[in-house]
Structure formats: structure tokens, C-alpha cells
């Protein structure tokens, strides 16, 4: 029979993915990437929350057909041995630097759309607001993407959410999840606060303003009782009663971020997605 400690350890391993960033320098080039190791599980456990002051429950599943429960284990369809810096403006087109000048500024890029499975984490989850309509936010008590300041500053969480209103693309900065004021910054592109939007055949990039928003704006507010939540500043998705929403997600290093440089090596992080539902009439 398993002891309580053994059961807790087993449960924790299912809920957390540990990411370790290590610096590797390719022979004959100044471009560096980061290897990913120390993964204790291929699963993540997104946690759903009940709808505050309403008759509905926010449930989650790894499959659109269900079953829908309070939590689920997911097998990532992109679960690499190396988490490599990439850049994207839309979660559709991803680019990676291939050459830098002597000052460390990236000059050339290539498309890596066909090889993303070895560069970032990716998966899909399905949400259902059973029994009532709800506004969905992140659960601030359960959402966990690590606490290392350098890793949080360099990473992005991206989502494509499909509901009755259509498909919405979100990209979030993770600075609000920890104290990132001490993260080291190094300019690696010629533009400020930008990401790669496209590249011609020459490989020279076109930049656009970084679309990433602050994830803290999308958190539910803690309610007056345990497990109860109130409306936050911005909604992740609004769902009708018994509607199923598709949530496709990416966790990656934004290669154009000033914090995505050598100091992010040898850092630990983790991933635990969590959502909370608030009754639409209460938001």
C-alpha cells in the first residue's frame, strides 16, 4: 500500500513538468540555443474551477468527446528534448535566428513551422461550462509556470481558443507570475519590443510590435469563500451553457525578447495550467 507521501509525490509528478534550460553553442556560429531536460512526466494537469454563485461547473477534458472532469492528464503532442528560442507574432508562423553579427544582433532567420515539435511545448485541452454560462479566467491560485525570474521574463504562453464567438489568438507575457525586475536584458534584435512577422527568401526579417499581453490582467479575483471567484479585468473566453471550447496552447521561449539570452540557461520552471469560471451574471 502506498504511503500518503508516496501518493502525494506521484500526484505532483503528474501535475508538473520541469524544464531545464542549458546553453549550447553550435560549432562555427555565434547562435546559441537551450536544451530541455529533467522532464518528470509527459503530462500536464490543467485544473478547472467551479462557477462562482451560479449553477454551472467549469469542467475540462483531454478530448472533445469527454469525459469532462475537474482535472485531466494530457500527453503533449510537442514535448521536445530541447526548448529552442523561436519568434512568432500569431502562433501560425514561427521563425528562428540563423546568423548574428559580432554584437550579437540576429541578422537572418528561417521558418521552423515544419519542425516545431522539437522546439516548444504544445497541446490541446477542452473546456465545458456545464449547467450555466460562464466567463473563463486563469485561476491565480493554481496557475503555475515556475518562479524563476529569467525564465518567466523570456517565455510566452500562447493560446488559440475556439468558442461560439469564433477563434481568438492570445499571447501572454509571464512577468506577472513572479518578480522579474532582476532578470538580465540583452538586445538581440535591431528593433525594440518587437517579434518577427515575416521573412523573405533572403532571410532578413520584418518585425512587428510584440503582441504579448500581461497575463495578470486575465486572472479571476478571489471570492469571499474557498473555491469562489469573481470577475477579473479581462476575460479569456466567454462560454454558453454546456458549450465546449477548444483551447490549443503553446509554451515557448520568445527569441526576440531582451531576456531570452545566455542568462536563461540552467533555469528551472514548471507548467500547470488552471482556469476559473465566473457566472456571466456576476461578471
The pTM of the whole model exceeds 0.95:
no
Q: How many CB atoms lie within 10 A of CB 81?
A: 9
Q: For every one of its 283 residues, what pLDDT tens digit does the chain have, with 9 covering 90 and above?
A: 445 444 433 333 333 444 444 333 222 222 334 433 333 333 445 555 555 555 678 888 889 998 998 888 766 888 876 678 999 999 999 999 998 888 889 999 999 999 999 889 999 999 999 888 989 999 888 888 888 888 899 999 999 999 999 999 999 999 999 888 888 898 989 999 999 999 998 899 999 999 999 999 999 988 777 767 889 999 999 999 999 999 999 999 999 999 988 777 766 667 788 898 888 865 5
SS3 readout for the chain: CCCHHHHHHHHHHHHCCCEEEEEEECCCCCCEEEEEECCCCCEECCECCECECCCCEEEEECCCCCCCECECCEECCECCCCCCCEEECCCCCEEEEEEECCCCCEEEEEECHHHHHHCCEEEEEEEEEECCCEEEEECCCCCECCCCHHHHHHEEEEEEEEECCEEEEEEEECHHHCCCCCCCCCCCCCCCCEEEEECCCCCCCEEEECCCEEHHHHECEECCCCCCEECCCCCCEEECCCCEEEEEEEEEEECCCCCCCHHHCCCEECCECEEEEEEHHHC
Amino acid at each position: 500500500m502506498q504511503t500518503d507521501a508516496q501518493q502525494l509525490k506521484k500526484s505532483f509528478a503528474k501535475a508538473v513538468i520541469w524544464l531545464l534550460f542549458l546553453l549550447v553553442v553550435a560549432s562555427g556560429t555565434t547562435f546559441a540555443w537551450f536544451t530541455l531536460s529533467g522532464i518528470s512526466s509527459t503530462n500536464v494537469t490543467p485544473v478547472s474551477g467551479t462557477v462562482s454563485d451560479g449553477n454551472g461547473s467549469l469542467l475540462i477534458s483531454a478530448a472533445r468527446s469527454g469525459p469532462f472532469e475537474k482535472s485531466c492528464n494530457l500527453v503533449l503532442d510537442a514535448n521536445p528534448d530541447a526548448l529552442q528560442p523561436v519568434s512568432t507574432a500569431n502562433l501560425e508562423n514561427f521563425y528562428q535566428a540563423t546568423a548574428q553579427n559580432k554584437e550579437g544582433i540576429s541578422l537572418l532567420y528561417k521558418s521552423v513551422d515544419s519542425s516545431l515539435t522539437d522546439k516548444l511545448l504544445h497541446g490541446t485541452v477542452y473546456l465545458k461550462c456545464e449547467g450555466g454560462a460562464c466567463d473563463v479566467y486563469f485561476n491565480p491560485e493554481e496557475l503555475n509556470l515556475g518562479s524563476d525570474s529569467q525564465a518567466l521574463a523570456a517565455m510566452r504562453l500562447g493560446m488559440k481558443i475556439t468558442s461560439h464567438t469564433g477563434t481568438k489568438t492570445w499571447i501572454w507575457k509571464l512577468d506577472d507570475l513572479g518578480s522579474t525586475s532582476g532578470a538580465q536584458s540583452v538586445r538581440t534584435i535591431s528593433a525594440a519590443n518587437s517579434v518577427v512577422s515575416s521573412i523573405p527568401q533572403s532571410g532578413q526579417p520584418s518585425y512587428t510590435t510584440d503582441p504579448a499581453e500581461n497575463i495578470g490582467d486575465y486572472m479571476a479575483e478571489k471570492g469571499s469563500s474557498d473555491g469562489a471567484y469573481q470577475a477579473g479585468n479581462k476575460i479569456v473566453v466567454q462560454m454558453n451553457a454546456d458549450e465546449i471550447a477548444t483551447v490549443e496552447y503553446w509554451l515557448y521561449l520568445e527569441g526576440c525578447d531582451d531576456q531570452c539570452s545566455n542568462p536563461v540557461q540552467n533555469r528551472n520552471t514548471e507548467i500547470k495550467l488552471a482556469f476559473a469560471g465566473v457566472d456571466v451574471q456576476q461578471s
